[in-house]
Amino acid sequence: MWPNSLFSQDEGKSAIPLDHFYVKPRHGTNAIRRVLKNFHFGAYTGLGKTFFNGSLSGYGVYQTPGSPPEIFTNSGTRFTNWINNAGTDTSAPNNSYILVAPGSSNLRFKGSAFNIPIGGSVHYEFDRYRIGGGYSYELMSIGTLQSVTMGDKIGSMKASSATGFVRKYWGMAGVAFYRWNDFLFIGDVQVGSYKLKTNYNTAQVTTSTFFNLGVTIERNLSEYFKVFARPYYEIKNYSLTPSGGQPIRYNINALYVTVGFTYAIPELPRCFLNGCHAQINHAHGNKEYRSRRHAIFKKQNPGYGENYQPIKYKGKNKNKLNPY
């Protein structure tokens, strides 16, 4: 039995000073880090397919042998390259090349485009929810458009400059709804604006707001580094208005699959001692640090870190951790 005097609250009479028993409160981080740890910065890329569906109601079709189809109005004005940069054909017309008279049929053209997006994002996480925004720049290569009406007579249409870029800004909101083993599933929506660039005549084009719905499948590699895959479906359209003509509306909905990563600024600073081998969060003096032995893709198990797991007993005690 220890003598009572050893633990006396009167430091003047204590055999051992009380500050040997009571460690000062630890200070792990500052207010800025505590706020920033919930922000996640990300980057991604992927593949997409855009489905073009254009309505040419009110237009007729004029096509010379061996040339792509032109469209024309009741006034007789003929337009070329009517997908992304409409021009005017001023050559003398030949009525024998008129395939469809204006307004006589509900003309539609369908086709597809290939997309490669590259983007960045930032979002704030709280409980199961997240909110944020991002920016992307994607390559889009437009394929051949085929007529839905009279496809056996009307030739295919190819944009004169098929490859260009699409710029997007968007906001997002999401909620985690399911976890399976190491994978977290988040339903999310993005809403924003986009601009068709380089191969489009922006003076002729008016774009809509776009939105997409997707599921982000996320896996933590460490407490502040995650990888993810996100399949999603996007809805958007644009109108192209040739000079002297009426608007041509294109629905360009798209299906994407993207992959990427997110990084959050750790709440605790990295240990300042080069020779420190601690694998878990730990203190030096009254300040707490995270391990310097882990790359950003390494977890830090609360019990022992990750680089060197403790040896397990064999036989009857195989589930007990070896303390040595």
pLDDT tens digits, the chain, 324 residues: what are they? 445 444 444 544 545 444 443 445 555 567 787 788 899 999 999 999 999 999 998 899 999 988 999 999 988 899 999 999 999 999 999 999 999 999 777 889 999 999 999 999 999 999 999 999 999 999 999 999 999 988 788 999 999 899 999 999 999 999 999 999 989 999 999 999 999 999 999 999 999 999 999 999 999 988 889 999 999 999 999 999 999 889 999 999 999 999 999 999 888 888 888 888 888 788 888 888 888 877 777 776 655 566 555 545 455 554 444 333
Q: Where are the domains of the chain?
A: 39-51+108-264
| Rounded CA separation 67/78 (Å) | 14
Q: In this structure, which amino acid lies at residue 194?
A: Y
State how far Cα 69 lies from the chain centre: 38
* Residue 231 bridge partners (DSSP): 257
Name the 3-class secondary structure at 63. Answer: coil
Query: What is the reported pLDDT for 6?
Result: 45
Predicted pLDDT of residue 285: 80
Give the model's pLDDT for residue 19. 45
What's the length of the chain?
324
Left, alpha or beta for 177 (phi > 0: left; psi -120 to 50: alpha)? alpha
CA 188 to the chain's CA centroid: 10
How far apart CA 85 and CA 236 sit, in angstroms, is 19
Cα–Cα distances in angstroms (integers) from residue 265 to residues 42, 152, 172, 193, in the given order: 12, 60, 21, 29
Within 13 Å, how many C-alpha atoms sit on residue 266's CB side? 20
- Output the pLDDT for position 195: 97
Tokens of 42: 């990300």
Nearest one of 113, 92, 263, 271 to 200, comparing CA atoms: 113
Give pLDDT, residue 284: 85
Give the C-alpha separation, 285 to 101, whole Å: 87
3-state secondary structure 231-282: EEEEECEEEECCCCCCCEEEEEEEEEEEEEEEEECCCCCECCCCCCCCCCCE
Sign of CA dihedral 77, 82, 86, 91: negative
In the block, tokens 């924003």 appear at 192
- The enclosing H or E element of 34 equals helix 31-36
Distance, CA of 289 to CA of 299 (rounded, Å): 15
Residue 294: name the closest of 305, 282, 283 by CA.
Answer: 305
CB 138 within 8 A of CB 149: no
Q: From CA 160, how far away is CA 71, in angstroms rounded?
A: 15
Instruction: Please tell me the predicted confidence (pLDDT) of residue 313.
Output: 46
The DSSP string of 288-324 is: EEB-SS--TT---BTTTBSSSPPPBPPGGGTTSBP--
Q: Is 97 helix (H, G, I), strand (E, B) or coil?
A: helix
39-51+108-264 belongs to which CATH class? mainly beta
CA–CA gap between residue 261 and residue 237 (Å, rounded): 29
* Spatial separation of the C-alpha atoms in residues 319 and 29, rounded to whole Å: 36
